[in-house]
Structure 1
């Protein structure tokens, strides 16, 4: 499971950067006009400097190292701070990174979440934070004191998943089950709840039951493919939410000593249930019923903008409406999670789910400053002298005439 969801993603990101870095670093030529006929206009990417990357515990390797690949590719020094919740992974990164990377440029700190604001106050050139909305807000406030730019990828919203009455129920159930219960549901990009069309609800519930049995067997606690909750705090929080919300249709068993919560499906969930008030980092899938695509869109739009929106339908018009009439960090139809893993697509949040993006070239841009460069020639001083004082009426007339000859798309005096 870790190889698939963590290591392969980092390897893909690194290989993509290696294969494309020369192209990304090339100065970008800007179209010339009358003013710059003899000059050279360039946009040059330069490193920001020293950046702080704060990773989250739910995918502790890739959420640290994927943005770090982009920061290194852009030429920055990096301070990496893995999550204290995933302590074994944090210790591993703290041990391995100094063995493979330049110790003067790359460091790993093991600061707790309560120490982050003090670290950010040290003044970095960029802060990249992945985590919950509350901690992200504190990091952004601390960064604002020193005018430090930030990228925030937040789990502040709940990722909705609409299931239409026109869809392949078997495939839909298989893909939702994989996405929701992978890593025991501890994912920022998993479907957080299902808005199921009333006509498809019975079929979907039955298909989800079959998938859970196929994936994890009759006793998921004995399955080597099913994970455990990261700590007792998260286990207690998730257990409390599921026991006070809806009706358990599948699962619901809890073993505190083993940090185990069975893959659970809740039916008859309503908007006011506790589980709909915060993000669920556990193997619990609430199912709500809607009677139309309009009702689903209205439901999603009333809530904070999520990191991801998912839609399952064989009707292209339904997919198009969900994509265009809802706002989210990313969108995926007829599958889940994959849009957040692709190196060629930017991934990030909007509104309550964050700001900025990363992956591939977008990571390189995030950790780069695009510097405007004008390399001027001195041969046309016989014309540009008109911009110098004293400002006589004759000079002004000539400049006004030159401006009138300018192309409408440029809209400024090219004689400067």
Structure 2
């Protein structure tokens, strides 16, 4: 992969800013064409994309089709067909008071400008092209920097994107942190969209703060799972194990650790073992149905966490020289364990036994807010209790990972797990801003006379009307 020379980045930015000022991305017809071209770029070179992702991650094709290639094609088409709806001015004459109706109060959704999208390596296609999709729909120009840790995907993106999308509006830059840092330092005032870890997210936010640049941060975190003892334990185990092995656990909403009451821990472990052997009859290391760890550094990090755990490994734990790791289950883990120090981002599943569901909720509240919270229960009271007493970017009841497939739902964090949203209309809104307006008619002048000096007693009394409004009584 050939990196973009750092000294070329200011010129790229200048070219895109000139295109935005010229209104290149303004036409809905033009935006629609770019979105369809995005879908065509993926579909025309489907095998190349799949092979690039296999080379970078060893991920099974069966996981890449629905979560990356298919998702981008489907959502690009949906975005193209929804442009008129999303961009339509919102005229507020039905909701404002009668005396303001003639002002034509209106909200427009305007493009922010030239935006910077910094993508991760774990889902390299969807987490670079999905934000780009929102930027295109909003009428922005964009610089896209994919991760240097997914070199095959990144090189292919740099090769194909200018053949399908207008290169005067959309450019790919390749490189490591120095390239990303340079891209942020050239007065990027429009928007930065970053997906990755919290450590780099803080660097991004600090750099953006120098120029008051708005940011979207998709940061992940340790997404916990609560298993109600009255729920179907076997079904919960099956769905949790599937969520843990998807992309070998390398996803921002991966189920990170499980809270289960002590008396159900062994039953839950037995169910996990049963489905492990169903999923991998000859063992995970001999299977083509699970990916590998992205690189040696992350591989060694995971092995180091396992080496230091005080919990008991009851399944898996084996690795090979191809950066493959078995799904690994560890029981009797505590909050002080090595496995609770950071987001695992791998096929390791700690089980934390608790005394009650209230105990699980209390432990979740004591930690940074995750991007996703999973709860397996049919009890409406427990659902209400979790919703009322925890904070997370998203919450899913009775399944894992699949929540991201719902086109209408936003994905976004809170607190340490990030800020801002993406997916279809929510991505469009991220790269737009609300531009309000009024159009004061000439014949409204008579009603406006009260605002002009001199301020007589009658004018003051009229202008003070709302300051003396009656406030209804309220009692707790």
Deviation at 1:291, TM superposition (A): 1.4
Q: Give matches, 1:299-314, under 5 Å.
A: 299-314=363-378
The yes-or-no answer on 1:128 pairing with 2:193 is: yes
Matches of 1:393 and 1:93 in 2, distance apart?
69
Deviation at 1:149, TM superposition (A): 0.3
Deviation at 1:384, TM superposition (A): 1.2
Matches of 2:303 and 2:393 in 1, distance apart?
28
The yes-or-no answer on 1:18 pairing with 2:80 is: yes
Matches of 1:323 and 1:345 in 2, distance apart?
17
Deviation at 1:399, TM superposition (A): 4.2
Deviation at 1:398, TM superposition (A): 5.0
Matches of 1:243 and 1:235 in 2, distance apart?
12
Alpha-carbon distance change, 404 to 136 in structure 1, aligned in 2, over 3 angstroms: closer
Matches of 1:176 and 1:383 in 2, distance apart?
64
| Residue 14 of structure 2: aligned partner | none
**C-alpha distance after superposition, 1:87-123 (max 9, x if no partner):** 1111111111111100000001113134423321112
How many residue pairs were aligned?
A: 405
Alpha-carbon distance change, 405 to 242 in structure 1, aligned in 2, over 3 angstroms: closer
Alpha-carbon distance change, 396 to 139 in structure 1, aligned in 2, over 3 angstroms: same
Where structure 1 has 5 or more consecutive residues not aligned to the other structure, the ranges are: 410-416
Deviation at 1:405, TM superposition (A): 12
Matches of 1:297 and 1:315 in 2, distance apart?
15
The yes-or-no answer on 1:375 pairing with 2:439 is: yes
Conserved in 2, the CA contact under 8 Å of 1:42 and 1:374? Answer: yes
Of 329-338 and 378-387, deviating more is 378-387
| Residue 253 of structure 1: aligned partner | 318
Aligned match for 1:391, one of 455, 459, 462: 455
| Residue 220 of structure 1: aligned partner | 284
Alpha-carbon distance change, 397 to 198 in structure 1, aligned in 2, over 3 angstroms: closer
Aligned match for 1:97, one of 153, 156, 161: 161
- Secondary structure at 1:51 match in 2: strand
The yes-or-no answer on 1:178 pairing with 2:242 is: yes
Matches of 1:67 and 1:347 in 2, distance apart?
11
Conserved in 2, the CA contact under 8 Å of 1:168 and 1:314? Answer: no
Alpha-carbon distance change, 393 to 260 in structure 1, aligned in 2, over 3 angstroms: same
| Residue 70 of structure 1: aligned partner | 134
Conserved in 1, the CA contact under 8 Å of 2:361 and 2:389? Answer: yes
Alpha-carbon distance change, 396 to 113 in structure 1, aligned in 2, over 3 angstroms: same
Alpha-carbon distance change, 408 to 36 in structure 1, aligned in 2, over 3 angstroms: farther
| Residue 39 of structure 1: aligned partner | 103
- Secondary structure at 1:258 match in 2: coil
Alpha-carbon distance change, 90 to 390 in structure 1, aligned in 2, over 3 angstroms: same
Aligned match for 1:235, one of 281, 293, 299: 299
Matches of 1:330 and 1:405 in 2, distance apart?
40
Deviation at 1:404, TM superposition (A): 6.3
TM-score computed with the length of structure 2 as normaliser = 0.82
| Residue 208 of structure 2: aligned partner | 143
**C-alpha distance after superposition, 1:243-281 (max 9, x if no partner):** 2111211111111x2111111111121211111111112
- Secondary structure at 1:270 match in 2: coil
Alpha-carbon distance change, 41 to 316 in structure 1, aligned in 2, over 3 angstroms: same
Conserved in 2, the CA contact under 8 Å of 1:98 and 1:107? Answer: yes
Alpha-carbon distance change, 345 to 408 in structure 1, aligned in 2, over 3 angstroms: farther
The yes-or-no answer on 1:332 pairing with 2:396 is: yes
**C-alpha distance after superposition, 1:48-96 (max 9, x if no partner):** 0001111111111111111111111001001111111111111111111
Alpha-carbon distance change, 36 to 408 in structure 1, aligned in 2, over 3 angstroms: farther
**C-alpha distance after superposition, 1:109-161 (max 9, x if no partner):** 11313442332111220000000001010011000100100000103x31100
Matches of 2:274 and 2:235 in 1, distance apart?
12
Q: Give matches, 1:150-299, under 5 Å.
A: 150-155=215-220, 157-245=221-309, 246-255=311-320, 257-299=321-363
Aligned match for 1:322, one of 359, 366, 386: 386
Deviation at 1:203, TM superposition (A): 1.4
Where structure 2 has 5 or more consecutive residues not aligned to the other structure, the ranges are: 1-62, 472-476
Conserved in 1, the CA contact under 8 Å of 2:285 and 2:319? Answer: no
| Residue 37 of structure 2: aligned partner | none
Deviation at 1:389, TM superposition (A): 2.7
Q: Give matches, 1:79-94, under 5 Å.
A: 79-94=143-158
- Secondary structure at 1:280 match in 2: coil
Conserved in 1, the CA contact under 8 Å of 2:254 and 2:345? Answer: no
More helix, by proportion = 2
- Secondary structure at 1:59 match in 2: coil
TM-score computed with the length of structure 1 as normaliser = 0.93
Q: Give matches, 1:357-372, under 5 Å.
A: 357-372=421-436
Deviation at 1:339, TM superposition (A): 2.2
